[in-house]
Amino acid sequence: MSSRFAPTELLPWALSQLPAGGVDASPALQLVAGDASNRRYFRLELGSGRYIVAQAPPETEKNEAFLSVRELLADIGVRVPEVLGADLARGYLLLEDLGDQMLLPLLNATTVDRFYCQARAILLQLAVPAGAARDLPAYDETLLREELGRFGTWFVVALLGYSPNVQEQNLIEALTEQLVASAMEQPVALVHRDFHSRNLMPQPDGQLAVIDFQDAVHGPVTYDLVSLLRDCYIRWPAQRVDRWALEHRDQLCDRGLLVEVEDALFLRWFDWMGLQRHIKVLGTFARLYLRDGKPGYLEDLPLVIHYVRQILEKYADDEPAFAEFGDWFDTALRPLIEQQPWGAPQ
């Protein structure tokens, strides 16, 4: 694609941020894959140099947060893209080009332990700057509830066309109460909030670079861990996931970043945090399709639904709210889900 898909002033602005001279060819911007936001990314090639030029509308995108979180992550040693220029008024960013290789297609049963060891090492870095993380927004009850509310609004009502009655709304609220309480009782860390295989970029020097961090908050220590291990785009055996989670717990404790936590409690934190995330994601992916015209996320819904049902079933015998929500989900929603083009079970 040519630069006509970008604002006419974007290319001249990007060139103005770079040293002049030495390039005879007429440069152009080429559109590259975007993400779930309103940001658009273009690649600029000048001789042997490659750069990413981002158009991030300031009305909708957290550009100042992107810059401040990037600086924080760089200060603690996390590999993030260099910023070569920024115009916050227009929402223009000139960034280091980290390439196109996401971690996701490199993951398989043989490689996953090595790559997840690297990724969990980054999470250990994020757990260190508790003081610095407190300068970020808090992952508080208001935000947790807003996220969980997307499920009813966008997934249940808007996507499936089902209107819960008062009793059904009450059982959704009962589960919400338990998930929020579990999240709020956890130790806190710097939370990336979308830490998964599509936001980790293997680099030629062997490092994993981190992108899409502008939504970072100060919140529950298990959030990024479950985002990684119960990735919405790839599935691993449950026992392997539990082993990875407890290994990470041990590493946090060994480094003095977490007080001793029994296996059962840590796994409950981990499981319930994942359930909160995946219920939220059902609503978020539905919203991306219905509001933002991004149907590609629908094909990922069956795996997310699998995660939701897995944890509901795991705790149903001991937690009435989980059992009642799970029964309602299977009775009222699953028949509607199975009618959808994307609704094949995992």
Q: How far apart are alpha carbons 224 and 213 in whole angstroms?
A: 12
Decide whether 3-96 matches 104-338 in CATH topology: no
> Which of 8, 208, 9 has its CA nearest to residue 116?
208
Interacting residues of 156 by C-beta distance below 8 A, sequence separation 6+: 162, 164, 333
- Residues 304, 277 contacting (CB under 8 angstroms): no
For residues 322-346, average pLDDT? 94
Confidence tier at 6 by pLDDT (50, 70, 90): confident
Q: For the chain, what is the mean pLDDT? A: 92
Q: How far apart are alpha carbons 112 and 143 in whole angstroms?
A: 32
Q: How far apart are alpha carbons 220 and 140 in whole angstroms?
A: 10
pLDDT at 3: 40
Interacting residues of 200 by C-beta distance below 8 A, sequence separation 6+: 102, 103, 119, 208, 209, 210, 211
Interacting residues of 71 by C-beta distance below 8 A, sequence separation 6+: none
> Which of 211, 222, 343, 230 has its CA nearest to residue 278?
230
Enter the tokens of residue 42. 């273009």
Evaluate if residue 193 carries a pLDDT over 50.
yes
pLDDT at 2: 40
- Residues 155, 97 contacting (CB under 8 angstroms): no
Counting Cβ atoms within 10 Å, is residue 210 exposed (0-12), middle (13-18) or buried (19+)?
Answer: buried
The domain 104-338 belongs to what CATH superfamily? Aminoglycoside phosphotransferase (APH), C-terminal lobe (3.90.1200.10)
pLDDT digits (tens, 9 = 90+) for 264-274: 999 999 999 99
Q: What pTM, to 2 d.p., does this model score? A: 0.94
Evaluate if residue 199 carries a pLDDT over 80.
yes
- Residues 183, 139 contacting (CB under 8 angstroms): yes
pLDDT at 1: 35
For residues 169-196, average pLDDT? 96
pLDDT digits (tens, 9 = 90+) for 37-94: 678 899 998 877 899 999 988 898 999 999 999 999 999 999 999 999 999 999 999 9
Enter the tokens of residue 272. 């319930």
- Residues 6, 42 contacting (CB under 8 angstroms): yes
pLDDT at 262: 97
For residues 298-303, average pLDDT? 96
> Which of 215, 204, 188, 190 has its CA nearest to residue 76?
190
For residues 116-130, average pLDDT? 89
pLDDT at 131: 61
Q: Where are the domains of the chain?
A: 3-96, 104-338
Q: Give the H or E element holding residue 41.
A: strand 40-46
What does CATH list as the number for 3-96? 3.30.200.20
